[in-house]
Amino acid sequence: MMRLTSKSVALIPIIATVATVVIGATLIAPPAANAATTLGAAAQQSGRYFGTAVAAGRLGDSTYTGILNREFDMVTAENEMKMDATEPNQNQFSYGNADRIVNLARNQGKRIRGHALAWHSQQPRWMENMSGTALRNAMLNHVTQVATYYRGKIYAWDVVNEAFADGSGGGRRDSNLQRTGNDWIEAAFRAARAADPGAKLCYNDYNTDDWSHAKTQGVYRMVQDFKSRGVPIDCVGLQSHFNSQSPVPSNYQTTLQNFANLGVDVQITELDIEGSGSSQASNYDRVTRACLAVTRCTGITVWGIRDTDSWRASGTPLLFDGNGNKKAAYNSVLDALNAGGPGPTSTTTTTTTTTTSNDPGTGGCTAAVSLNQWNGGFVATIKVTAGSSALRGWRVTTTLSNGTVTSSWSANGSGTSGTVNWSNVDYNANVPAGQSTEFGFQGNGSGAGLNPSCTAS
């Protein structure tokens, strides 16, 4: 399969024409001489990452760290950033094991997914029996303290983990946090945004891979609601733990695409697939290709390195065997990533990405749009980036010639069509120099030609 660079993508129409005229035959792909040889490097070819869960207790194992250092460019602490680990006693925070993982990752230029700020499980004993306002405040304090401690070091936080119930209802899971009020999730997201405006904020869950499942639909409706009301959410994590009882669904790519169409990134956050040999390899191939086919599927994390490191070790669900040897599943993922090239494609919608920006000037700002367009509708996500000095407020002007805004998030708009002026909301007015914030809107018709421009205000 031909590996594509951004230059070669631009040349495709020309090459195709020449090929037709001169040899009248299909393009013959050159050998994959430059194929990447590690998962991280292969994923980077399309601007994605490939990560793993890491356990601090295994960092003394040189086989483990050898594979970690070589293969992965994103790291998630398997247990060390959870509530019980980071706040074992109320208001006494403990970051030793988490820091060992964070420091190792940062020293090697790897990025970090934070997991997880608020969860009904793995709570410290003192929190388990709390309720009402005391629990709500303790949870928000935890989110604020931990996200502040790691401010600037985390690519994406799983702000809330596993808050939806399994089964047919599609509603929330009962938990002490849920009993503090249905708005506990959005309160956690707002606290996380205030504490670390640079981190992407994700909702993360399992059994949300099959588009037809009520739980998937429930999470989808929550994200849609958050987007429409300006609750700061940037991404949805699909844990994607698969086995024979819970196989990779045939509509997996549809699920990824439909979440992405809400204007959020999608990440596969805890991938493992029980099995062995070619059937396991082909399932890994399907999952990898599904992510590559969705523009906003920004990366994949496997939940451990060797089979023996897995929480489901008996199911041999990972990419390396207990001795650290690459399995068939490893090769299928690497090949799929190498085949993916830089230009993700979409089968269910017409997706285009347009980027325009204006000159920031001294202390100004730039605006860039990522447009997800399908037949009759669109989602536009606009990234506002501060210039050489911090923003205290910003305004973005867009042009909608053939479309109408139906809802927006994280900004106030002046109208629904023609020239629309957007201004910051309270929580994203302040943007440090060189850093970014995002807002967005969805609409009917076409979002083409938005041509955003930004001014500091």
Residues that bind ligand G3I (CB under 6 A): 78-79, 121-122, 161, 206, 239, 270, 311
Closest CA to 263 of 351, 334, 328, 140: 351
DSSP per-residue string spanning 203-270 = EEESS---TTSHHHHHHHHHHHHHHHHT----EEEE--EE-SSSPPPTTHHHHHHHHHTTT-EEEEEE
Q: Which residue has the tokens 């196989």?
A: 247
Closest CA to 265 of 231, 287, 219, 233: 233
Minimum Å gap between C-beta 82 and ligand G3I is 7
Taking the CB of residue 362, how many other CB atoms lie within 10 A of it? Answer: 8
Minimum Å gap between C-beta 203 and ligand G3I is 13
Minimum Å gap between C-beta 161 and ligand G3I is 6
Query: From CA 351, how far away is CA 343, in angstroms rounded?
Result: 11
Q: Which residue has the tokens 């060390």?
A: 80
Closer to ligand G3I by CB, 206 or 422: give it: 206
Minimum Å gap between C-beta 133 and ligand G3I is 27
User: Is residue 266 within 8 Å of 303, Cβ to Cβ?
Assistant: no
Minimum Å gap between C-beta 239 and ligand G3I is 5
Closer to ligand G3I by CB, 83 or 420: give it: 83
Minimum Å gap between C-beta 338 and ligand G3I is 29
Query: How many angstroms from the chain centroid is the CA of residue 135?
Result: 28
Closer to ligand G3I by CB, 55 or 334: give it: 55
User: Is residue 324 within 8 Å of 66, Cβ to Cβ?
Assistant: yes
Structure tokens at 304: 């451990």
Return the active site residues: 162, 270
> Which residues neighbour 346 within 8 Å (Cβ) at sequence distance 6 or greater?
257, 293, 294, 295
Closer to ligand G3I by CB, 71 or 272: give it: 272
Closer to ligand G3I by CB, 83 or 369: give it: 83
User: Is residue 304 within 8 Å of 273, Cβ to Cβ?
Assistant: no
Closer to ligand G3I by CB, 79 or 228: give it: 79
Minimum Å gap between C-beta 270 and ligand G3I is 5
> Which residues neighbour 92 within 8 Å (Cβ) at sequence distance 6 or greater?
none
Closer to ligand G3I by CB, 55 or 292: give it: 55
Residue nearest to ligand G3I (CB): 311
Structure tokens at 97: 């094991």
Query: From CA 223, how far away is CA 225, in angstroms rounded?
Result: 5
Minimum Å gap between C-beta 363 and ligand G3I is 42
Length of the chain: 457
Closer to ligand G3I by CB, 146 or 396: give it: 146
Closer to ligand G3I by CB, 85 or 369: give it: 85
> Which residues neighbour 281 within 8 Å (Cβ) at sequence distance 6 or greater?
327, 328, 329, 331, 332
Minimum Å gap between C-beta 122 and ligand G3I is 5
Query: Which residues lie across from 50 on neighbouring strands?
Result: 300
> Which residues neighbour 151 within 8 Å (Cβ) at sequence distance 6 or greater?
195, 196, 198, 199
User: Is residue 263 within 8 Å of 443, Cβ to Cβ?
Assistant: no
User: Is residue 213 within 8 Å of 206, Cβ to Cβ?
Assistant: no
Query: From CA 21, how far away is CA 170, in angstroms rounded?
Result: 56
Peptide bond into 42 cis (omega under 30): no
